[in-house]
Amino acid sequence: MKIKKRFTLYNIIMLMTPIILIGVVSVGFLLIFIMKYPVEELLVKRTALINPRIFAEAVGLFFQNNPGAIRIVFIWFAISAGILIFSTTIITMIMSRSIKKPIDNLHRAAEYIRRGNLDFEVLGSDYDEINALCSEFDNMRRDLKYARQLEHSLKSERSMLLANLSHDLKTPITSIKGYIEGIRDGVADSPEKVSRYLDVIYQKADTIENMVNNLSSYSRLELNREEFKFQTGELGKFLLAFCKKLETEFIDKDINLEYEFKDNEIPVRIDIDKMSRVFSNLVDNAVKYKKEGCLKLIIRTYPADGGVYAEVSDNGIGISPDEISKVFNSFYRIDESRSIKGSGLGLGIVKQIIEKHGGKIWLQSDGKKSGTTAVIFLPAAY
Ligand code: ATP
Ligand code: MG
């Protein structure tokens, strides 16, 4: 209820309560009075009562002759005054309490927030205006709590990032050192062995270089330092050229690539280099996380929802539902795939690039061993 409406109601109650109570008391007193002092004792003819002067004289004479009646009138007056004072005090108290309670709540809430406690709820009020203020306050508390949780998770993500990075760099560096020592100490005692050792060293250095490149791209994207050169075109056309190149790469590999593009004449904004990176990372994952046997890879596009959808589906090892939302986090790798080379930054980079295109990306999978589909949505650029 609005403050104005409620205050008007309280005013009516404040007015009516004493009137009704005093009225009831007065009727009681009048009956006592009439029973004790019959009208005949007024010593005046009823018709004369119409004249105010005669009436006043008669009443004065009556009270002179009956001093006990003055006491009754006095008691009536005192009780009526008491009723008036009591009822207005009680109603004023109820009124002020109804306003004071939510204000006290807000005051307490501000105090909690000042002390850093955000685990409470700001209760509402019967007054619409105060209720709106309370819910605004509660929204602010919730936003603060969310910001704090975000800050906390960012902090732990940063620490995880550092821990993973140092671990992931340490592993190839340790093996590079091992192989160099092997050459130096003469363990690689034939030119073939030395060449094999050098190949492994090169491979490990390559892994480190990839990791550093990924990390650099990831942080440049996160810090908005990566420049985008957008051009407007059809995603299908871009992907057709991309798939043609893939086909040549997949010759002699146990990979079956299918593609179908139905997004004709819907232009989207594309940075060709960055978009190539997106699809390369997705295809790279499909290849890395394949099951035994032939990999079936399907890349397709179709128009819907005012834009274009692109899907990269594989029949690989799949992802369980509880992992699917985490794989976009930097350095996140599902435990079983830890043995497979990768920095865990690929999907993080993909997500950032797609978001910079104004789009969205998510993964779908029916769980372990049932394949994965990466779905990308790009809004049309009209
Ligand atoms: P990087 O891409 O940096 O070389 P990565 O492939 O491990 O390393 P992401 O591409 O970010 O990192 O993928 C994160 C994790 O998600 C992977 O480690 C893998 O466990 C899981 N994943 C990603 N794509 C697939 C897929 N198509 N099938 C099954 N699991 C996948
Ligand atoms: Mg990857």
d(CA 247, ligand 1 centre) in Å: 22
Cβ(168) – ligand 1 distance below 6 Å: no
Q: Provide mean pLDDT across the span 304-311.
A: 96
Distance 346 CA to ligand 2 centre (A): 4
Asked whether the beta carbons of 319 and 367 are under 8 A apart, the reply is yes
> In which domain, by residue range, is 99 found?
3-117
Amino acid 46: pLDDT: 61
Least confident piece of the model among 51-60, 171-180, 232-241: 51-60
Closest listed residue to residue 132, CA positions, set 159, 112, 102: 102
Which protein residue's CA is at the shortest distance from atom 18 of ligand 1? 333
Residue 296 bridge partners (DSSP): 256
Paired tokens of 190? 């034939």
Helix-helix angle 128-184:3-36, to 10 degrees: 140
CA of 347 from ligand 2 middle (Å) equals 6
Q: Which residues contact 354 (CB under 8 A, 6 or more apart)?
A: 278, 360, 361, 376, 378
Does the structure show a pLDDT above 70 at 200? yes
Claim to verify: residue 91 and residue 180 sit in the same structural domain: no
pLDDT of residue 340: 60
When comparing pLDDT for 45 and 233, which is higher?
A: 233
pLDDT the model gives residue 222:
87
Quote the pLDDT of residue 39. 64
**For residue 122, which amino acid is it?**
V
Q: Regarding predicted confidence, which is higher, 334 or 108?
A: 108
Q: What gap in Å lies between CA 135 and CA 141, rounded to an integer?
A: 10
Which CATH number covers residue 207?
1.10.287.130
Q: Is 139 within the bounds of a domain?
A: no
Query: Is 316:278 a contact under the CB 8 Å cutoff?
Result: no
Higher pLDDT, 222 or 282: 282
Contact 127, 99 (CB under 8 A): yes
CA gap 231, 233 in Å, rounded: 6
Average pLDDT, the chain: 89
Of 95-109, 253-267, 328-342, the range with the lowest mean pLDDT is 328-342
CATH code assigned at 285: 3.30.565.10
Sign of CA dihedral 186, 192, 198, 203: negative
How many domains is the chain partitioned into structurally?
Answer: 3
Rounded to 5°, the CA angle 241-245-251 comes to 145
Range name among 34-48, 131-145, 246-260 with the lowest pLDDT average: 34-48
Tell whether the model's pLDDT for residue 257 goes beyond 80.
yes
Which of 222, 255, 277 is the C-terminal boundary of a domain?
Answer: 222
Residue 374 backbone class (left: φ over 0; alpha: ψ -120 to 50; beta: rest): beta
Higher-confidence position of 13 and 51? 13
The pLDDT value given to residue 366: 87
How far apart CA 293 and CA 151 sit, in angstroms, is: 44
Q: Are residues 272 and 302 in the same domain?
A: yes
* Domain match, 372 and 246 both: yes
Long-range contact pairs involving 116-125 (C-beta distance under 8 Å, separation at least 24): 118/144, 118/145, 118/148, 119/145, 125/98, 125/101
Is 359's C-beta closer than 6 angstroms to any atom of ligand 1? no
Higher pLDDT, 243 or 263: 243
- H-type helices in the chain, by residue range? 3-36, 52-65, 67-115, 128-184, 191-222, 235-250, 272-288, 321-324, 346-356
**Higher pLDDT, residue 303 or 102:** 303
3-state secondary structure at position 234: strand
CA distances from residue 242 to 38, 239, 278, 299, 304 in whole angstroms, order as listed:
115, 5, 11, 10, 22
Mean pLDDT of 306-310: 96
C-alpha–C-alpha distance, residues 211 and 188, integer Å: 28
Q: Is the pLDDT of residue 42 over 60?
A: no
User: What CA–CA distance (Å, rounded) separates 290 from 256?
Assistant: 12
What per-residue string of b and e applies to 297-319 under the rule 16 or more CB within 10 Å gives b?
A: bbbbbebeeebbbbbbbbbbbbb
Q: Is residue 138 part of a domain?
A: no
Ligand 1 contact via 164 beta carbon (within 6 Å) = no
Query: Is 319 inside a domain boundary?
Result: yes
Among 93, 117, 141, residue at a domain's last position: 117
Categorise residue 65: left if φ over 0, alpha if ψ from -120 to 50, beta otherwise: alpha
State pTM to two decimals.
Answer: 0.65
Residue 41: pLDDT above 60?
A: no
> Whole-angstrom Cα distance, residue 133 to residue 343?
48
Range in 21-30, 125-134, 153-162, 169-178 the model is least confident about: 153-162
Ligand 2 centre to CA of 284 (Å) is 6
pLDDT over threshold 70, residue 336? no
- Residue 278 Cβ inside 6 Å of ligand 1? The answer reads no
Q: Are residues 199 and 269 in the same domain?
A: no
Least confident stretch, 106-110, 303-307, 372-376: 106-110
pLDDT band at residue 202, thresholds of 50, 70 and 90? very high
pLDDT at 93 over 80: yes
Residue 243 has pLDDT above 80, yes or no: yes
Phi, psi of 367 (to 5 degrees): 105, -170
Average pLDDT over residues 95-124: 87
Higher pLDDT: 124 or 100? It is 100
Are 217 and 246 in the same domain? no
Residue-wise pLDDT tens digits, 274-296: 999 999 999 999 999 999 999 99
**Which residue has a Cα nearest atom 12 of ligand 1?**
344
372 lines ligand 1 (CB under 6 A): yes
Percent of the chain with pLDDT over 70: 95
> Does one domain contain both 263 and 200?
no
Query: Picking from 35-39, 253-257, 332-336, which range would have the lowest pLDDT averaged per residue?
Result: 332-336
